Chain A
Amino acid sequence: MTDKLMAGMNAALEKIANKYGIKNHAVFAPAAPRAAVEAVLKTSSKTFMLLPWRAERRFTELKNITTNGTLEDISTLRLCAIFSKSSSTLDQLLYRQFDLCEYLGGADIKSLFAVFNGKNAANVIVKLINGRNCSVECSVMLPAGAEEIDRHEIIARRGVASDRAVDTQIPQASIYAFTGKGEKRFTDIDSELFGFAPQAINLIRAAFTVLSNPETGKAWNQQHEKLLRLVAAAKKSDQTQKPASF
């Protein structure tokens, strides 16, 4: 993340905090290299780890669908993330997907069994303490520059919810531009933060969530520690060929 982008994100965070009357103040700071998330949020006395996907609207809406009675008796979550090495490591993908298992599944992870192929791909079966199963499919073998592929599907006795439309395999975009320079896609979903890439928007929204409610920041810090343990446990499960229980 460049200094210019970080400065832009800080300015945007301050602007929306002012707009909505949030008095708390904090700034983004770079995370450690290859950390799960590119930036952390710093106040004068604390550092908060951010879980930006939790501020992403598709996950907010999927979460609502799991809790507002649209789905009944959820059984299984199918989560997939196929990225390139230039954008993510396998650890980063597992960190995010394990958090989404718990966030969308509504419970902590009870156990998991993982199989890895080096640092390129991993497939994990996860059990939540509420009995729900999750499949987590991750790979970093897309070529550099390819559009990232992910899918989050929730299967229940009554209803299936997904962030991917039926009969599609890859994410859709809002705008497709076909010109002499090839095809380019754009997906803009946030008017107040227009101009930032989706990843930056999610970080700013996550930071705004923490500023609005610092208790969320404390909970996310605890979750961060747990997610690191879960990723380590997945690797150990692969090495020992034994399920890990928590």
Chain B
Amino acid sequence: MLSLTHGHTRKYYQTLKSNPKLDWIAVCAENKEVKKIFESGKHGVPCYLDEHEMYKKHPEIEAVILASANNRHLAQVRDCAKRGLHVLSMKIPTFDMAEYDEMINLVDRSGIIFQIELEMHYNPVVHRLKKLIADGKIGKILSVQATNITLSPVWAFPWQGMPEKSYGKRIPLRRDDKRFRGGALCDHPHIFDLIRWLTGSDFDFVFSDVGKNIRPELEVEDMLLINGKMQDGTVFLLDPSWSRMEERLKIPGPGWEVFPKRMEVNLMISGEKGVLACDCFGPNVYHNGAPNDRYTVQYTYFDEWIGLVDEFVDCIRNHKQPKINLKWHRQTIAAMNACYRSISRKMPEKVVI
């Protein structure tokens, strides 16, 4: 694993340990502080501060997980392609479409497997949702409303609040706005991807507007809404905000959430023959105990990383193309960029591939 600064990093640890098809060989931390946090977990895996040193000492490494800030991805992908290492990338390879196309070329030329972590595809509720829709239970989809709302991870993973590291550049949201691209939208590609899977259609246009930040000290957006149309006529309304307040913990753990449910992905889908209401992370169990005596949703299942890693291994061993590969994911990134353009222009934006 590289860098260990992504919010999903720790979610891999159990899977990497328990899947006997994997040997978790080493990690390389972004800095000494991250290394210290990793080593406090006593994982029994060597932790380096220099990627080249790690690769030199461990020539047996076949694949890496890019658990880094978005602006680090391209350099790491270049290096992996040169070394012939397969890559499991965090959910945003890059927002820069020229960089994105360079990644596609690097992967094509090197022949490595490149899978993008959109873990919702391995969520059992999403599995059921896809099946119900594919089986025609509600007919053709007419409308999708979806939330991907969470607390903000910026206090634990500061790069997610830094425009240059999250979006890749420092671009103002609007001429009359002091905030920059790189906030909640950059954290939440899942619902953009899911609507493409569920409808089998691509984006036509999006309209997006930002709200007043509920964390005024952030220089990136934390509240926004998006609506628009798919090419098949499906209308949608998406909420990818950081609308759930958090305690400002440096290391995520119990008591992180202020709102009881720290993360929600819900979909309400209207079709020609009926309606589906879907909560991808519920029901769960609930308590108001330690550490903060607040009503809290205690999640009972996080299978996503098991299926995700199983697919990655299968693709490497059997030379398959991952479901979420760079070429598939390109339109999702293009749609998210169109949202930023819409915010800037205060007008709907065509999603151009």
Contact A166 B285 (CB under 8 A): no
Q: Which chain B residues lie closer than 8 Å to A146 at the CB level?
A: none
Q: A166-B295, A175-B125, A175-B129 are in contact. Are A58 and B277 (CB under 8 A)?
A: no
Q: Which of A103-159 contact B (CB under 8 A)?
A: 156, 158-159
Chain A residues, Cβ within 8 Å of B19: 19-20
Asked if B285 and A58 make an inter-chain contact with CB atoms under 8 angstroms apart, the answer reads yes
0/1 string, B28-64, CB within 8 A of A gives 1: 0000000000000000000000000000000000000
- A197 and B20 CA atoms in complex are apart in Å by 27
Q: Does B171 contact A (CB under 8 A)?
A: no
Q: Are A62 and B285 in contact (CB under 8 A)?
A: yes
Contact of A188 among B124, B290, B293, B307 (CB under 8 A): B124
Given known pairs A162-B286, A172-B282, the reply for A190 and B301 (CB within 8 Å) is yes
CB distance from A69 to the nearest CB of B (A): 6
Within 8 A of B (CB), among A171-191: 171-180, 186-191
Q: Does B158 contact A (CB under 8 A)?
A: no
Q: Which of A156, A177, A188, A189 interacts with B300 by CB under 8 Å?
A: A189
Question: Which B residues lie within 8 Å of A21 (CB)?
Answer: 20
Which of chain A's residues have a CB closer than 8 A to the CB of B128? 174-175, 186, 188, 194
* Contact, CB under 8 Å: A165 / B280: no
Contact A159–B275 (Cβ < 8 Å): no
Question: Which chain A residues border B325 with CB–CB below 8 Å?
Answer: none
Q: Would you give the 0/1 interface string for B13-35, flagging 1 where the beta carbon is closer than 8 Å to chain A?
A: 00000111100000000000000
Q: Kindly state whether residue B320 has any CB partner on chain A within 8 Å.
A: no
Instruction: Report whether A178 and B274 are in contact in the complex, using a CB–CB cutoff of 8 Å.
Output: yes
Map CB proximity to A onto B263-304 as digits: 1 under 8 Å, 0 otherwise.
Answer: 000000000011111111011111111100101001111011
List of B residues within 8 angstroms of A215 by Cβ: none
A159 touches B132 (CB 8 A): no
B137 close to chain A: CB less than 8 A: yes
Identify which of A20, A158, A175, A187 contacts B290 (C-beta below 8 A): A158
A159 touches B283 (CB 8 A): no
Complex contacts, A164 vs chain B, CB 8 Å: 286
Number of interface residues of A (CB under 8 A): 41
A160 touches B278 (CB 8 A): no
C-alpha gap A53/B289 in the complex (Å): 24
Chain A residues closer than 8 Å to B307, beta-carbon distance: 191-192
Q: Measured between alpha carbons, how far is A166 from B298 in the docked complex, in Å?
A: 13
Cβ of A65 under 8 Å from chain B = yes
CB neighbours (8 Å) of A161 from chain B are: 285-287, 289, 298
Task: Collect the chain B residues with CB atoms within 8 Å of residue A62's CB.
Answer: 285
Report the minimum CB–CB distance from B267 to chain A (whole Å): 9
Q: Distance (Å) between the CB of A147 and the closest chain B CB?
A: 13
C-alpha spacing A230/B70, complex, angstroms: 59
Q: Is the CB of A165 within 8 A of B287?
A: no
Quote the shortest CB–CB distance from B137 to chain A (angstroms).
6
Given the contacts A188-B124, A194-B124, A177 and B274 also touching, CB distance less than 8 Å: yes
Which residues on B are within 8 Å of A, measured CB to CB?
Answer: 18-21, 122-125, 127-129, 132, 137-138, 254, 273-280, 282-290, 293, 295, 298-301, 303-304, 306-307
17 contacts between A and B (CB under 8 A): A19-B19, A20-B18, A20-B19, A57-B301, A61-B298, A71-B287, A159-B288, A164-B286, A171-B283, A174-B125, A175-B276, A175-B277, A175-B279, A188-B125, A190-B124, A191-B304, A191-B306
Give chain A's interface residues, CB within 8 Å of chain B: 19-21, 57-58, 60-62, 65, 69-72, 156, 158-166, 171-180, 186-192, 194
Contacts A158-B290, A173-B283 supplied; 14 other A-B pairs, CB < 8 Å: A19-B21, A20-B18, A60-B300, A65-B289, A72-B290, A163-B283, A174-B282, A177-B274, A177-B276, A189-B124, A190-B124, A191-B123, A191-B127, A194-B127
